[in-house]
Amino acid sequence: MHTHKVIEEPDDPSISPQEKVAAASRSTWVSVVVNVILSSIQIVVGVLAKSQALVADGIHSLSDLVSDFVVLFANHHSQKDADADHPYGHHRFETAASLALGLLLLSVGVGMLWSAAAKLQNPEAIPTVHGLALWVAGIALVAKETLFRYMLTVAKRVKSSMLVANAWHARSDAASSLVVGLGIVGNLAGYPLLDPIAALIVGFMVGKMGWSFGWSALHDLMDRAADDEEVAAIRQTLLETPGVRNVHDVRSRKMGDMIVVDAHLEVDAQITVEAGHEISVLARQRVLQRHRVLDLMTHLDPWRRPDLDHAIKPGG
């Protein structure tokens, strides 16, 4: 199962939350306009040209409109400040939106499979598709692939997993349009079964994509840890903090596109509590500046030089 995630890099301090919201809103509205036009043309021409595959592709495009509005809604709410009920903020609105997108895609895919399977049970009633359907499928393919590349570029620039999910939703549309085009070509070549078979394949693709996004988002909602590489990078930042002798028990959990981290810092056992607190504050500042960490909770443990530690043990 492939899950398409943002590139795991430290946050770019040049990208403000306001810029992220604006970029998400702009790219999503572009998607809305494209999908309104495409779904209208695909469904109308699909009905007139008697192509079940093209109608299925149009319904898929229509489902994008719902997902786009889910993204716009979540994008607005995820940027709200922390409050008494949500002390870590509302970042998981994005994860919840990704889960909603996954469930939407899964339900649409199951519906397509059901419809195509019913058509295949009565092959004699499958009509010959009009050639206009092929032109529309080709136009839809180009438009959706272009939309995907644009949305993915924006998503990676602002580092939003929710926007990445929506971009790959557009890519699944492009792939489905390719399959639809092949099915229509087969129908026109004298193999009418290929049109509902194409609709069947589109339904499977949509359902699989929905399962992938939904399953991944569900794990994030259950406090899935960040990638090993990113945790290792955070640990290295802590180790490089002046005064930190060692680091252990570094734990992380995802909070939308951010991470909450807990870590035990070992500091010299002979320093004062105030000095240990200052080291902890510095370590937190360094991690929050260099990584996409929302908060870092630290626990200080005493560190002694091995030779001294042995000398003070009872009976030593």
The answer to whether position 6 is within a domain reads no
pLDDT value of position 8: 37
**pLDDT number for residue 278:** 92
CB neighbour class for 68 (10 Å; exposed up to 12, middle 13-18, buried from 19): buried
Query: What pLDDT, on the 0 to 100 scale, is given for residue 91?
Result: 63
Please give the pLDDT value at position 41.
92
State the pLDDT at residue 68: 67
Residues 116 and 250 reside in one and the same domain? no
Q: What is the mean pLDDT of each run of 10 residues along the chain (316 residues)?
A: 39 59 79 86 89 82 71 63 60 73 82 80 76 89 88 81 74 80 87 84 81 81 79 91 90 80 90 90 91 87 70 48
CATH classification of the domain holding 234? 3.30.70.1350
Helix (H) or strand (E) holding 268: strand 258-268
Q: Looking at the structure, do residues 146 and 294 belong to the same domain, yes or no?
A: no
Q: Closest by alpha carbon to 70, among 88, 95, 91, 89? A: 95
Distance in angstroms (rounded) separating the CA atoms of residues 194 and 182? 8
What's the domain range around 52? 17-221
Residue 105 belongs to a domain with what CATH number? 1.20.1510.10
Ramachandran sector of residue 105 (left: φ over 0; alpha: ψ -120 to 50; beta: rest) = alpha
